[in-house]
């Protein structure tokens, strides 16, 4: 990739798991009663075939991974599990009280933190509690994040029995020096065992997360990690750029020095090596940072135009309502967002008092909804159009003018009312979305809010 383009476009920018992005939410005008109304509106508009999505955040980890930007609580006290799970179920009750009938659960994802911090017995308590309160969809899409070091055969079988058929393992990198730097040591043998057991249990989609741009990571490390990954043949692969945001995450990302990180051009070379290797091994690039075999639902979703992006990343289908349960979780009613408090003790205290544990949120304006559609289309399909009435925004002429610079660099094509991202432009899709982001355009941040785009 041209180093001139990297230098030109490597700026701080959002990853667009939402629009507006969290730093641009209008928290001052957000009201809990309005959020509840938007949840009810989405629930009533969703037909029974669509159902709703649940995201459950498990914050507990036994050790700190210094590359991680997630909300977590480091502890070895497993006595915290059951009280937390009981609180999550109580929070679900608060939402169910807003509905006029039992919700159908179409999608369910358990993330963290380390979900497999939970014991098998407590997973049963959690999932039994959910499905006694709700209806399981006939064709559910249930998944969880597993740690290769502590995901047991019993974990896999128990979750499979509840309808889970997708698991994603955090691999990151196999080089021991890199693993030590990020405090995430896990041998290949552990990943092999966890992957083999998942496939043996009947999981139809096993995913691996790999991160590039990590401290001390070299091109040879990327080549070696991907070679070992391909040997295990996961159905989908997330190939993430390490987001170095120590100003947000504090000491959690200070287990190494800034000079230990690859340069932007080295980092981009790592990605290009990975992308080429995945393609040669039969993986298809899906949206941004994802690759999948043709048997995986992400591939078919991209092919038939149903690929969706939200706070959980890419999903094969979209539900209008996604409820985030647990500390720091974010809910999405399509018309609004709401995030839970980030402290476990505060979260439990509020829920036990019958109070929704929301501490900030945003109700989308008509303009927000239009821009959200454009950014989703760009992130999922690498194209968008202004032809439909519900996609027209007032700043189209100025937007087209700004995009001409990207067209000159062969990153997009502009044809009548359609914008298409070229293959050369895909690594810069975040930059392209930033031109559509009116809230960002109107108020440039005074300090760095986001990771670098390259």
Q: Is 397 left (phi over 0), alpha (psi -120 to 50) or beta?
A: alpha
| Residue 330 counted as an annotated binding residue | yes
| Residue 296 counted as an annotated binding residue | no
C-alpha 117/C-alpha 72 separation (Å) is: 12
| Residue 65 counted as an annotated binding residue | yes
- The crossing angle, in degrees rounded to 10, of helices 366-381 and 429-436 is 160
Rg (CA), the chain: 21
| Residue 69 counted as an annotated binding residue | yes
C-alpha 71/C-alpha 328 separation (Å) is: 7
Q: Is 260 left (phi over 0), alpha (psi -120 to 50) or beta?
A: alpha
| Residue 114 counted as an annotated binding residue | yes
The first and second tokens of residue 47, run together, are: 């037909």
| Residue 389 counted as an annotated binding residue | no
| Residue 55 counted as an annotated binding residue | yes
Pairing of strands 73-74, 60-61: parallel
| Residue 439 counted as an annotated binding residue | no
| Residue 112 counted as an annotated binding residue | yes
C-alpha 194/C-alpha 188 separation (Å) is: 10
Pairing of strands 52-58, 104-112: parallel
Could you give the strand order of the β-sheet that contains 236-241, starting from the edge strand earlier in sequence? 284-286, 290-292, 236-241, 205-212, 164-172, 135-146, 104-112, 52-58, 322-325, 330-332, 336-340, 358-363
C-alpha 420/C-alpha 383 separation (Å) is: 4
**Closest C-alpha among 341, 348, 356 to residue 37:** 356
C-alpha 178/C-alpha 134 separation (Å) is: 43
C-alpha 5/C-alpha 454 separation (Å) is: 10
| Residue 381 counted as an annotated binding residue | no
Q: What angle do CA 274, 267, 383 make, to 5 degrees?
A: 65
- Exposure string of 14-31, with b = 16+ CB inside 10 Å and e = fewer, is bbbbbbbbbebbeeeebe
Q: 10 Å Cβ neighbour count for 379?
A: 24
| Residue 13 counted as an annotated binding residue | no
The first and second tokens of residue 88, run together, are: 């999550």
Binding residues, as ranges, are 55, 61, 65, 67-69, 112-114, 145, 172, 184, 209, 243, 330
Binding residues for [4Fe-4S] cluster, as ranges, are 61, 65, 68
Binding residues for S-adenosyl-L-methionine, as ranges, are 55, 67-69, 112-114, 145, 172, 184, 209, 243, 330
């Amino acid at each position: 990739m041209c180093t001139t383009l990297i230098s030109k476009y490597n700026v701080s920018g959002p990853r667009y798991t939402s629009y507006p992005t969290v730093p641009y939410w209008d928290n001052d005008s957000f009201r809990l009663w309005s959020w509840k109304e938007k949840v009810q509106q989405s629930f009533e508009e969703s037909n029974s075939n669509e159902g709703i999505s649940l995201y459950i955040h498990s914050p507990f980890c036994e050790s700190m991974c210094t590359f991680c930007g997630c909300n977590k609580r480091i502890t070895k006290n497993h006595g915290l599990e059951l009280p937390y799970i009981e609180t999550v179920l109580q929070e679900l009750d608060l939402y169910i009280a807003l509905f006029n009938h039992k919700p159908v659960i179409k999608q369910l994802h358990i993330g963290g933190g380390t979900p497999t911090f939970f014991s098998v017995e407590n997973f049963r308590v959690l999932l039994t509690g959910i499905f006694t309160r709700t209806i399981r969809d006939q064709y559910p899409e249930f998944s969880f994040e597993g740690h290769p070091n502590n995901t047991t055969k019993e974990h896999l079988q128990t979750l499979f029995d509840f309808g889970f058929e997708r698991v994603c393992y955090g691999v990151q990198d196999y080089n021991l020096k890199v693993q030590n730097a990020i405090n995430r040591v896990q041998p290949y043998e552990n990943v092999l065992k966890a992957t083999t057991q998942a496939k043996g249990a009947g999981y139809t989609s096993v995913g691996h997360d790999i991160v590039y741009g990590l401290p001390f990571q070299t091109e040879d490390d990327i080549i070696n990690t991907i070679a070992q990954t391909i040997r295990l043949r996961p159905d989908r692969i997330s190939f993430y750029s390490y987001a170095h945001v120590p100003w947000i995450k504090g000491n959690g990302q200070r287990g190494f020095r800034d000079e230990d990180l690859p340069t932007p051009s080295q980092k981009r070379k790592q990605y290009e090596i990975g992308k080429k290797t995945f393609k040669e091994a039969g993986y298809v690039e899906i949206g941004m940072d994802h690759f999948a075999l043709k048997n995986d639902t992400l591939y078919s979703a991209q092919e038939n135009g149903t690929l969706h992006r939200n706070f959980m990343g890419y999903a094969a289908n979209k539900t209008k309502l996604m409820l985030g349960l647990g500390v720091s979780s974010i809910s999405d009613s399509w018309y609004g967002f709401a995030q839970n408090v980030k402290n476990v003790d505060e979260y439990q205290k509020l829920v036990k008092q019958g109070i929704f544990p929301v501490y900030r949120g945003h109700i989308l304006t008509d303009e927000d909804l239009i821009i959200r559609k454009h950014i989703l289309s760009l992130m999922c399909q690498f194209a968008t159009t202004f032809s439909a009435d519900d996609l027209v925004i007032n700043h189209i002429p100025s937007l087209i003018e700004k995009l001409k610079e990207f067209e000159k660099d062969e990153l997009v094509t502009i044809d009548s009312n359609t914008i298409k991202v070229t293959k050369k432009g895909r690594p810069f899709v975040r930059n392209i979305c930033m031109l559509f982001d009116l809230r960002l355009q109107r108020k440039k941040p005074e300090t760095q809010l986001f990771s670098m785009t390259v």
